[in-house]
């Protein structure tokens, strides 16, 4: 079945960077966009960006531009999200989530997310 498995929890100091991985299985990795969404403790959901695993194209939310980098390794069906210059405000659960439908020949985004990874808790603390 379709599954996204994320890397384990991280504890980082302010100013550091974190790189979270998301390993996909059960479908053609390069056929679907991958999104990243975060959720601060007790708060709502916040879209961070997406990557097209087929060609590496990315789009980032304005809030994270300059601090986030999304990459992928198609040989191991894994997407990555790296966030730099961490502050305590970046303490959150980070999720990867697949686009609902395949992009097809024209790389069309569907825009809603299924399935989701289990989440990776990133804690930023001195």
Q: Which stretches of the chain bind other proteins, using CB under 8 A?
A: 35, 44-47, 61, 95, 97, 100, 110-119
Termini Cα distance of the chain: 40
For other proteins, the closer of residues 37 and 86 by Cβ is 37
Closest approach of other proteins to the CB of residue 2, in Å:
12
Closest approach of other proteins to the CB of residue 100, in Å:
7
For other proteins, the closer of residues 10 and 46 by Cβ is 46
- Cα separation of 37 and 15, whole Å? 21
Distance of CA 71 to the CA centre of its chain: 9
Closest approach of other proteins to the CB of residue 32, in Å:
14
- Cα separation of 105 and 24, whole Å? 21
Cis, peptide link before residue 115, omega less than 30° from 0: yes
For other proteins, the closer of residues 30 and 101 by Cβ is 101
For other proteins, the closer of residues 40 and 74 by Cβ is 40
Contact 23, 38 (CB under 8 A): no
């Amino acid at each position: 079945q379709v599954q996204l498995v994320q890397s384990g929890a991280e504890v980082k100091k302010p100013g550091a960077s974190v790189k979270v991985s998301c390993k996909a299985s059960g479908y053609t990795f390069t056929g679907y966009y991958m999104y990243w969404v975060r959720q601060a403790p007790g708060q709502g959901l916040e879209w961070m960006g997406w990557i097209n695993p087929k060609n590496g194209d990315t789009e980032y939310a304005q809030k994270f531009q300059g601090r986030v980098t999304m990459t992928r390794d198609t040989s191991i069906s894994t997407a990555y999200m790296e966030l730099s210059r961490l502050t305590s405000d970046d303490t959150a659960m980070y999720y990867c989530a697949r686009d609902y439908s395949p992009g097809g020949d024209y790389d069309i985004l569907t825009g809603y997310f299924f399935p989701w990874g289990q989440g990776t808790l990133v804690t930023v603390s001195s």
